[in-house]
Structure formats: structure tokens, C-alpha cells
Amino acid sequence: MNTQILRILKSGAVLLVAALTASPVIGNAQDKPLRIGLVTFLSGPAAGPFGVPAKLAAEAIVDSLNAGKAPAPYTTKGFGGTPLELVVIDEAGGATKQVAELRNLVERQNVDFVIGYIGSGDCLAVAPVAEELKKITILFDCGTPRVFEDASYKYVFRTRPHATMDAVAGAMYLLENRPGMKSYAGINQNYAYGQDSWADFTAVMGTLKPDATITTSQMPKFGAGQYGPEISALLESNSDVVHSSLWGGDLEAFMLQATPRNLFARSQLILVAGEPYLHRLPGSIPDGTIVGARGPSGVYAQKSALNDWLRQIYKERGETYPNYPAYSVAQAFLGLKTAYEKAKSKGTPGTDEIIQAFEYESFDSPSGKVMMKLGKGHQAVTGTAYGTTRTVNGVITVGNIKYYPVERVQPPEGVKSIDWIKSGMKPGKW
């Protein structure tokens, strides 16, 4: 074989290898929309307070981005000039169903990205499957810190903080306002998020208030609906404080059943994820309840152009202003838009280029600055806020608001949340 032919064959082999190993291009066809699979609860007890607000927010955000009507730094239409199209899937049905739905979104619906998942069990189930499918997947809610503390992913990101900060800030707020409390109890769902929330809260209390006594821990199954025995146990415990991370229909059912039995006449209630219910449960959330929004979102979001934008476009579609699930969705879309356009500014954006642009990125949101600082750049961190409820003219309002910066409520990279809490929660550097 002569030298020239050999050189041609070698050149062809190099080009073939390059083609086979190149990052898949996303959004290359002119005017063809980027298809985004949105997974959120559309049915079941979690739909009203969580899933539907997330869907309304996603639809409003996509329409506004496609029209180029978002404020700076998001004025470019769509993602880098490419329009967006939503494919919406119901998250109801459990983790096994969601794994099948994710495969369908990727393999049959041909979505370019997936944004979704409120339930922690669903996030834990779909994350390794997204990795297998090599599809960029943005977890927009779900609280368990296990996603990135127990595993490492290339294609999976979470653009909202995990729930450790809720326990840390919640305990701090409680002790700042009730330093003399002596006992506390808990009612939390018996699955990943509820277990983690209670474990973190008790660890923080053990660090900050070691003389306080745990009276009882009630762990009803997810979706139990009836809480008579648990309420009886909480009443009998005569606790100063009741901690709860209940959410969805579980929290609504619990509050409607507990309030008539005067559980909270004796016990201070702290709802670490209670903000979505402020307009849904008038008369059933007692004055003095400590409420969190899993970040500075919803009623805790501070004045900004982005916050004004989200409130306006959401209110045009819904009867109320956005709650924190809507803010969580906004963080996912704006984080992905930031990464996509950063990758596109350097050339044709492919999967690997978008991932590289996303890792350790910071971006603005209606909740303030979001930093992808944990999980090797795949897990977001922010500060958070808490307040106390008061009913005025039949409307639940929140006052005595306290903001907690990220360094006080988040563990540093490479340290598990529970280990950081038990070691004294030394503030990190961000």
C-alpha cells in the first residue's frame, strides 16, 4: 500500500472516531423548537398545591421567553434564539411509573431536556436512568440530600437547594424565637424526604439545644390521609413544638384533622414546607405557625425585576401569585437557559458543552442568586427564610421574617449534611 493511500485511510479513521465521540448537537436545526419534557403532578393530592402551580409557571415562563419578554439577563428569545416547546407528563403514579415515563420522553417523545420531579422518591429513581439515557435532566424540586450526597452524576442537575437548609434554618429560627422550649415532636412522611427532614432537624436540635427532649416521632406512610392515631400521640406527648415536613394532600389532611382537636393550642407548629398552603388553608393554619418555603421564594422572595416578572406572568394565568414550586420551576428554566447560551456562545452547543457550562455556574432567579456549588457543580445552593403566620381579615400573612445566608445553612462541598450538622455546622465559604 503506497504512502498516499495509507495517509488517506488514517485521515478517514480519525474523522470517523471524531464523529462517533462528538457531543450530540442540541437545537441545531433552524427554527426547530427545543423540546423540554416537564414532569409534575397533574393529578392526585399533590397537584393542587405543588404540581399545577409548577405547570402554570412553566407554561408562563416558556411563553414569555419565546416572546423575548423576560428581563435581563434573559432577554434573548427562547434559549439562544431557539424557541421552546413543552411536553408535559403527570408525575402521579409512583417511582416505577416515572422511570417508564422518562424512557418514553427520551426514546419516543425525543425531548432535548427533561425538567421535573417534586417527589424525592421519584428523583432518586429517575436520576440513574437519566444517566443511562445520557439526557440532561434538571430536578426542579425534591428535597432529599441523598441525590448527590450518595451518588455522582454527569447528566443530572438540581437547580434548587436540598432540604438540609430547611432543617438548619428552621431550628435556628425556632430557638431564636423560643429559646426556652424544652420538648419537641415530629410528624413526617415515612419516605426519603420525611426521613431526611426529621433526621436533620433532630441533629440540628441536638447540636444547638441538646437539653431539649424528643417526645415522639410519628412517621405515617406517604399518602396516608387519615392521622387520628398520630394526632392522639402528639396530643399525649404534650410537646412544646411539633415539627413537620408533610406536604401535598398529606399536610392538608393533617391540618384539617388536627386543628379541631386543638393540637396547636399547646404545641408550637413548624412547617418546613408550608408556604404553598397559606392561601389554601385559611382557618386551619394557626397564628404563630413557623413556615418555610424551601428557600427565599414565594412570600419570601425579595423585590427584583425577575420576581416582578414571574409574579406578573403567573398571575395572568392563575388566581393567586406564585408559590414556591413556581419559583423552583423558574430556577430550573433560567439555569438551563444560562448554561445553554453560555455553551452556544462558544460554538454549536452539544450535550457535553452544555454540561460543562452548567457545572459550578451561578445565575439570577426570582428567588435571588443561585449557585451550582455542591455535587461537583450539579447541586444548587441558596440562602433561605422563615417567618411566622398571622391571620388578618381571613387571610394568612407572614411576619417576623428572617433571612439566613447560604454559608449558615448549607454544608460545604464533599461533606455530607448530617456529618456537617453533627460537627457543629461551621459556616462555609461561598
Give the pLDDT band (50/70/90) at residue 319: confident
Q: How far apart are CA 79 and CA 179, in angstroms?
A: 49
Query: pLDDT over 70 for what percent of the chain?
Result: 93
CATH code of the domain made up of 34-162+302-381: 3.40.50.2300
Give the pLDDT band (50/70/90) at residue 30: low
Closest by Cα among 367, 369, 338, 342 to 73: 338
Give the pLDDT band (50/70/90) at residue 223: confident
Chain position carrying cell 397564628: 287
Residue 8 has pLDDT above 90, yes or no: no
DSSP H/E element including 123: helix 120-133
CATH code of the domain made up of 164-300+383-422: 3.40.50.2300
Cα distances (angstroms) measured from residue 131 to each of 8, 92, 107, 127, 351: 37, 22, 14, 6, 12
Span 207-231, mean pLDDT? 96
Give the pLDDT band (50/70/90) at residue 279: confident
C-alpha triplet 322, 328, 332: angle, nearest 5°: 130
Q: How far apart are CA 28 and CA 10, in angstroms?
A: 29
Span 407-420, mean pLDDT? 94
Residue 29 has pLDDT above 90, yes or no: no
Q: Tell me what pLDDT residue 9 has.
A: 43
Q: Tell me what pLDDT residue 23 has.
A: 61
Rg (CA), the chain: 23
Q: Is 305 helix (H, G, I), strand (E, B) or coil?
A: helix
Q: How far apart are CA 140 and CA 88, in angstroms?
A: 14
Q: What is the residue extent of each domain of the chain?
A: 34-162+302-381, 164-300+383-422
pLDDT by residue (tens digit) across 43-52?
998 999 999 9
Residue 21 has pLDDT above 70, yes or no: no
Main-chain phi, psi angles of 253, to 5 degrees = -65, -45
Q: How far apart are CA 121 and CA 253, in angstroms?
A: 21
Most confident range (mean pLDDT) of 15-19, 149-153, 317-321 is 149-153
Main-chain phi, psi angles of 418, to 5 degrees = -65, -35
All three cell numbers of 240, joined, read: 412544646
Span 124-147, mean pLDDT? 97
Q: Tell me what pLDDT residue 28 has.
A: 58
All three cell numbers of 11, joined, read: 485521515
Q: Tell me what pLDDT residue 5 has.
A: 45
Cβ count near 376 (within 10 Å): 15
Alpha-carbon dihedral of residues 354, 20, 155, 50, nearest 10 degrees? 80
Longest dimension (CA), the chain: 93
Residue 3 has pLDDT above 80, yes or no: no
Span 425-429, mean pLDDT? 86
pLDDT by residue (tens digit) across 154-189?
999 999 999 999 999 999 999 999 999 999 999 999
DSSP code for 300: G
All three cell numbers of 207, joined, read: 447540636
All three cell numbers of 407, joined, read: 454559608
Residue 18 has pLDDT above 80, yes or no: no
DSSP code for 386: E
Span 377-404, mean pLDDT? 96
Q: How far apart are CA 125 and CA 326, in angstroms?
A: 23
All three cell numbers of 414, joined, read: 464533599
C-alpha triplet 166, 368, 48: angle, nearest 5°: 60
CB distance 169 to 201 below 8 Å: no
CB distance 165 to 379 below 8 Å: no
Give the pLDDT band (50/70/90) at residue 24: low
CB distance 184 to 425 below 8 Å: no
pLDDT by residue (tens digit) across 196-211?
999 999 999 999 999 9
Backbone CA torsion sign across 141, 145, 146, 148: positive
Closest by Cα among 305, 356, 354, 326 to 118: 326
Q: What does the mean pLDDT of the chain come to?
A: 93
Which residues face 399 on adjacent strands? 388
CB distance 40 to 51 below 8 Å: yes
Q: Tell me what pLDDT residue 25 has.
A: 67
Give the pLDDT band (50/70/90) at residue 11: very low
C-alpha triplet 242, 247, 249: angle, nearest 5°: 115
Query: pLDDT over 90 for what percent of the chain?
Result: 87
DSSP code for 232: H
Main-chain phi, psi angles of 256, to 5 degrees = -65, -25
All three cell numbers of 297, joined, read: 421564594
Closest by Cα among 119, 153, 117 to 378: 153
CB distance 134 to 153 below 8 Å: no
Q: Tell me what pLDDT residue 26 has.
A: 79
